[in-house]
C-alpha cells in the first residue's frame, strides 16, 4: 500500500497502472535469465528515472520510531562499557 500511495502522490495515474499491469509469461525451454551487474542496473535506473519522471520520489514513506529514555540510557551505558 505504501508504494501505491507514493505512486499516487508523485502524480501517477492509478487507472493506467491497472490497465497496463505486467502479465507474467512463462519462460521458454532452454531460456536463461539475464544477470546484470549492480553498476549496470543502477545506471539503467538513473537513465529511466530522468527520462520519465521529473520529480521522482517527491513523497516517500519514512519509518519513524523512538525508544524510551530508560532504554536509551541503558543502551548508552552498555555501549560506553564496550568502547
pLDDT digits (tens, 9 = 90+) for 4-61: 788 778 777 777 777 777 777 777 777 777 777 888 888 887 777 765 555 555 565 6
What is the reported pLDDT for 59? 61
For position 54, what pLDDT does the model report? 54
What separation, in Å, do the N-terminal and C-terminal C-alpha atoms of the chain show? 42
Tell me how far apart the alpha carbons of residues 39 and 51 are, in angstroms, rounded to a whole number.
19
Contact indicator for 10, 56 with CB cutoff of 8 Å: yes
Residue with grid cell 505486467, as numbered in its chain: 22
pTM above 0.75, yes or no: no
Cβ contact 25:15 at 8 Å? no
Task: Spell out the residues 6+ positions from residue 75 whose beta carbon is closer than 8 angstroms to its own.
Answer: 67
Task: Tell me: pLDDT of 83 over 60.
Answer: no
Q: Which pLDDT band holds residue 70 (cuts at 50, 70, 90)?
A: very high
Amino acid at each position: 500500500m505504501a508504494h501505491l500511495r507514493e505512486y499516487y502522490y508523485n502524480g501517477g495515474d492509478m487507472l493506467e497502472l491497472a490497465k497496463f499491469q505486467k502479465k507474467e509469461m512463462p519462460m521458454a525451454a532452454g531460456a536463461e535469465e539475464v544477470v546484470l551487474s549492480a553498476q549496470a542496473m543502477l545506471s539503467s535506473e538513473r537513465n529511466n528515472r530522468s527520462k520519465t519522471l521529473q520529480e521522482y520520489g517527491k513523497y516517500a514513506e519514512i519509518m519513524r520510531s523512538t525508544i524510551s529514555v530508560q532504554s536509551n540510557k541503558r543502551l548508552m551505558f552498555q555501549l560506553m562499557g564496550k568502547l
